Amino acid sequence: MAKPNSQTWRIITIHAGLLAYSAFALFPVLLIILNSFKDRLTIFSAPFALPDAETFTLDGYQTLSSTAHFELFFLNSFLVTASSLALIVVVSSMAAFALAEYKFRLNFLTGLYLAIGIMVPIRLGTVGILRMMVELHLVNTLWSLILIYTAQGIPLAIFVLTAFMRQLPKDLKDAARIDGASEYRIYWLTLPLVRPAIGSVLAISMLPIWNDLWFPLILAPGESTKTLVLGAQAFLGEFVNDYNAVLAALTLAILPPVLLYFVFSRQLIRGITAGAVK
C-alpha cells in the first residue's frame, strides 16, 4: 500500500535529480552563449550576469565576420551534409529494397558484408582513403568528403531501412505486379510507405557528418573547402585569447546542430533506438 505521501516524495526526488542534471548539461552551453554578447571586461568580472544595455556588444561577431569566411564554411558544411544525406538515402533505400524484397542466393551474405561497416570505423582506413583521394585529385574538394560520408552512412541506413521494409505487407506489391508495374515502379511506390524510417536514417546520419572534424582536417583543409567545424577549430586556435571572438564563434557553431535537433528530435530518437535494437 503506497501512501500518497511517499508517492509525492518519490516524484519530488525524481524531479530534483533530473533538474540538477539538466542544469549541469545546459550550464556550459548557456554560459558560452550569454557571454558572447557581453563586453570583454564584463565577461571576466561578471561571467554569470546577463548582458544589459551597458555591457551588450557584438564585438566578437564583428571580429568573426571581418576575419574568417564563416558564410563560406557554413555553405560548405551544408553542401557536404545535404549531398551526402541525399546519396545515402537514394542508394541505401534501393539496396534495402532488394535485400528485403527478393530471395536470392547471396542475400544473407550481401547483408552481412554491408553490415561490417556498422561496427568497423571508416577512420581506420584513412591512410588508404588519403592515398586514393590524392590519386583521384579529389583532395581539397567537397567531393572527397561527400563520397566518404556516403560510404560511412550506407551500412546503418541499409540496416534500418531493410528492417522496416521487411514489415511492409506483400499484398500491396503483388497487386501492383498484377497490374503490370515494373520492379522499379514498385520500389518507387514503397518509398512513401517507409517515410518514417527514412526520417530516422536522415536524423542519425546528419549530425555525425555535420560535426566531423577528422576528414575535413585530413582531406579538405584548404581555405575554400573548410567546413564549419574545421573553420571554427582553426579560428578558435588562432584567436584563443580574444574571448569575445571565441565565444561568438562557439555560439555560431552551436546554433545549427541545435536547430536541426529541434526539427528532427522525434526521428533522431526513433533512429537511435532502431539502429541499436539488434
Partner 1 sequence: MRRRRFVRVHILVFLAPAVLIYTAFMIYPLFDSLWLSLNNKGATANQIFVGIQNYQTLFGQEQWSKPFWNALRNNALFFLIHMLVQNPVGLLLAALLGARIRGGAIYRSIIFTPTILSVVIVGFAWKLILNPAWGISRSVLAAVGLSALDHPWLGLESSALVTLSLISVWQNIGIPMMLFLAALIRIPEELMEAARVDGAGVWKIFWKIQFPLILPTVGIVAVLTFVGNFNAFELIYATQGALAGPNFASDILGTFFFRTFFGYQLQPADPFMGSAVAGIMLLIILTGVLIYLFGWQRRLQQIQY
User: Residue 204: CB partners within 8 Å, gap ≥ 6?
Assistant: 156, 160, 268, 271, 272, 275
Helices and strands, number each (H, E), in the chain: 13, 0
Mask for 107-146, x = binds partner 1 (CB under 8 A): ---x--xx-xx-xxxxxxxxxxxxxx--------------
65 binds partner 1, rule: CB under 8 A: no
47 binds partner 1, rule: CB under 8 A: yes
CB of 52 to partner 1, least distance (A): 20
Q: Which of 8, 9, 17, 167 forms a contact with partner 1 (CB under 8 A)?
A: 17
Q: What is the DSSP string of 212-258?
A: --HHHHHH--STTT--HHHHHHHHHHHTTT-HHHHHHHHHHHHHHHH
82 binds partner 1, rule: CB under 8 A: no
222 binds partner 1, rule: CB under 8 A: no
Q: For residue 101, what are the CA distances in angstroms to 60, 83, 104, 182, 254?
A: 55, 27, 10, 14, 41
Q: Which of residues 172-211 bind partner 1 (CB under 8 A)?
A: 183-184, 187, 207, 210-211
How far apart (Å, rounded) are the C-alpha atoms in residues 94 and 133?
A: 26
Q: Which of residues 251-270 bind partner 1 (CB under 8 A)?
A: 253-254, 257-258, 260-261, 265, 269
Q: Which of 68, 142, 154, 160 forms a contact with partner 1 (CB under 8 A)?
A: 154
Q: Looking at residue 168, what DSSP letter applies?
A: S
74 binds partner 1, rule: CB under 8 A: no
Q: Which of 49, 86, 175, 213 forms a contact with partner 1 (CB under 8 A)?
A: 213
Q: Are the CB atoms for 201 and 89 separated by under 8 Å?
A: yes
Q: Which of 8, 15, 56, 62 forms a contact with partner 1 (CB under 8 A)?
A: 15
Specify the residue, 79 or 115, whose C-beta has the smaller distance to partner 1: 115
How far apart (Å, rounded) are the C-alpha atoms in residues 129 and 139?
A: 10
Q: Which of 34, 75, 94, 168 forms a contact with partner 1 (CB under 8 A)?
A: 94
Q: For residue 218, what are the CA distances in angstroms to 17, 132, 133, 144?
A: 42, 13, 11, 10
Specify the residue, 53 or 179, whose C-beta has the smaller distance to partner 1: 179
26 binds partner 1, rule: CB under 8 A: yes
